[in-house]
C-alpha cells in the first residue's frame, strides 16, 4: 500500500509564564504599552544582528504568511522576478504569495531531502533579470536546513539580495544581518523557536531595501508605511489595533530565551530531535531525511 508519513511541526510549546502574560490587559494606545512594544522591537532587531541605523523591525498583525507577502510587496515591484529554490512546501507557498501579489516567481529545481547546493543558485543568477533570491532557511515540511551563510555568500558575490523565510528558524538557528548585508529582509513569527504565541509576523528589513510608502499595492501590507509610521509616531505605536497581549507574551518569551541562550536552545532542540528520531526508528519508521541532513 501507500506509505504513510508522520509530520511533526513545531516547536510550539509555551511556558506557563508566557501564557500568563496573555492574561494582562493592555490598552494598545496607552502610554504604558508604548515602551513595551518599542522594547520588543529593539530586542528582536538585536537578536537578528541588525543595527537600528541600517535595519528596522517591522511587526505586522497575522501569521508568517502575512509577513512574507508584505516583504515580497516591499522588495519587488509588480512584474519583478524572484528566484525561489523549491526546497519544500514553504518555498511553494512563497512562490504562490509572490504570484498572487503580482510578482513573478522563478522556481529553481532543488532537492527536498538534500541540502541546497549554493552553486545551483550561483548559476541561476547568471540571469540578469533576477535581483532577488527567496530562501526558506528551515523547511518546516521536512526539517531540511539551508546553509544561509553559504547561499548568502553566493548571492552577495553576484551583487543580488536575499529574502529569508526564517519562520521556523529565528531564535535557534543563526541569523546575522550585520554579517550578511545581502539579506534585504528576514521574516519570522513569535510562535516557533522564540516560544511565544501566534498573532504577529515580524520582518527585519534593511532600510535601504524599502520603497517609498504606497508602493506595496496594499495599505495593510505596506512595510514602508509601517516604518514611516514608527519614525513619525514613535516605535511604540502600531498603525492599526495590535495583538497587545501577544506582544506582552513575546516580551516574556524573549526574557526566557535570553536566560537560556540561543545556542543552548538549539542544542536542546537538537537533543529532542535526535531522541524522537531514535524512537521512531525503533518503531520501524523510516525518516525522510538522512540523519546527517536532519534539522533540529
What number is the average pLDDT over the span 239-268?
96
Of the candidates 253, 143, 267, the one whose C-alpha atom is nearest the C-alpha of residue 198 is 253
Residue 11's pLDDT band (boundaries 50, 70, 90)? low
Q: Is the pLDDT of residue 155 over 70?
A: yes
* Whether the model pTM is above 0.85: yes
Q: Which three cell numbers stand for residue 129?
A: 533579470
Least confident stretch, 12-16, 45-49, 121-125, 249-253: 12-16
> Can you give the pLDDT at residue 141?
86
* 104: β partners: 81
- Going by C-beta distance under 8 Å and a sequence separation of 6 or more, which residues neighbour residue 71? 163, 185, 187, 203, 205, 223
Lowest model confidence (mean pLDDT) among 2-6, 56-60, 175-179, 285-289: 2-6
Residue 97 predicted with pLDDT over 90: yes
State the sign of the Cα–Cα–Cα–Cα dihedral 74, 235, 59, 238: negative
Give the count of beta carbons closer than 10 Å to the beta carbon of residue 242: 20
pLDDT at residue 10 is higher than 70: no
Residue by residue, DSSP assigns 56-87 as EEEEEES-HHHHHHHHHHHHS-TT-EEEEEE-
Per-residue pLDDT at 26: 86
Cα(176)–Cα(234) distance, integer angstroms:
26
Candidate from 2-16, 82-96, 231-245 with smallest mean pLDDT: 2-16
Residue 160 confidence class, pLDDT cut points 50, 70, 90: very high
Q: What are phi and psi of 82, to 5 degrees?
A: -135, 125
pLDDT at residue 176 tops 80:
yes
Q: How far apart are CA 20 and CA 3, in angstroms?
A: 42
Three-class secondary structure assignment of 124-146 = HCCCCCEEEEEEECEECCCCEEC
Query: What pLDDT was estimated at residue 28?
Result: 86
Per residue in 211-223, pLDDT (tens digit) is: 999 999 999 999 9
Mean pLDDT of the chain: 95
Report which of 220, 226, 237, 233 is spatially closest to residue 204, judged by C-alpha positions: 226
Amino acid at each position: 500500500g501507500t506509505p504513510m508519513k508522520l509530520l511533526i511541526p513545531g516547536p510550539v510549546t509555551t511556558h506557563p509564564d508566557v501564557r500568563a502574560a496573555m492574561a494582562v490587559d493592555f490598552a494598545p494606545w496607552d502610554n504604558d504599552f508604548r515602551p513595551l512594544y518599542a522594547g520588543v522591537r529593539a530586542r528582536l532587531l538585536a537578536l537578528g544582528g541588525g543595527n537600528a541605523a541600517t535595519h528596522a523591525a517591522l511587526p505586522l498583525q497575522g501569521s508568517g504568511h502575512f509577513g512574507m507577502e508584505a516583504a515580497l510587496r516591499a522588495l519587488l515591484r509588480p512584474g519583478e522576478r524572484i528566484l525561489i529554490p523549491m526546497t519544500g512546501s514553504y518555498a511553494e507557498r512563497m512562490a504562490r504569495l509572490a504570484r498572487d501579489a503580482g510578482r513573478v516567481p522563478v522556481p529553481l529545481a532543488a532537492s527536498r531531502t538534500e541540502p541546497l547546493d549554493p552553486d545551483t543558485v550561483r548559476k541561476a543568477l547568471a540571469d540578469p533579470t533576477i535581483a532577488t533570491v527567496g530562501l526558506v532557511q528551515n523547511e518546516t515540511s521536512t526539517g531540511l536546513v539551508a546553509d544561509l551563510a553559504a547561499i548568502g555568500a553566493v548571492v552577495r558575490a553576484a551583487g543580488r539580495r536575499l529574502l529569508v523565510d526564517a519562520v521556523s528558524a529565528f531564535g535557534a538557528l543563526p541569523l546575522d544581518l550585520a554579517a550578511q548585508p545581502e539579506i534585504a529582509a528576514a521574516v519570522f513569527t513569535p510562535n516557533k523557536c522564540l516560544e511565544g504565541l501566534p498573532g504577529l509576523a515580524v520582518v527585519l528589513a534593511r532600510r535601504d531595501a524599502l520603497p517609498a510608502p504606497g508602493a506595496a499595492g496594499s495599505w495593510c501590507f505596506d512595510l514602508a508605511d509601517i516604518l514611516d509610521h514608527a519614525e513619525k509616531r514613535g516605535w511604540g505605536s502600531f498603525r492599526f489595533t495590535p495583538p497587545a497581549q501577544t506582544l506582552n507574551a513575546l516580551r516574556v518569551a524573549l526574557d526566557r530565551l535570553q536566560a537560556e541562550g540561543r545556542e543552548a536552545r538549539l542544542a536542546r532542540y537538537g537533543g529532542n530531535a535526535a531522541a524522537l528520531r531514535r524512537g521512531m526508528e525503533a518503531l520501524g519508521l523510516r525518516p525522510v531525511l538522512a540523519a546527517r541532513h536532519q534539522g533540529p
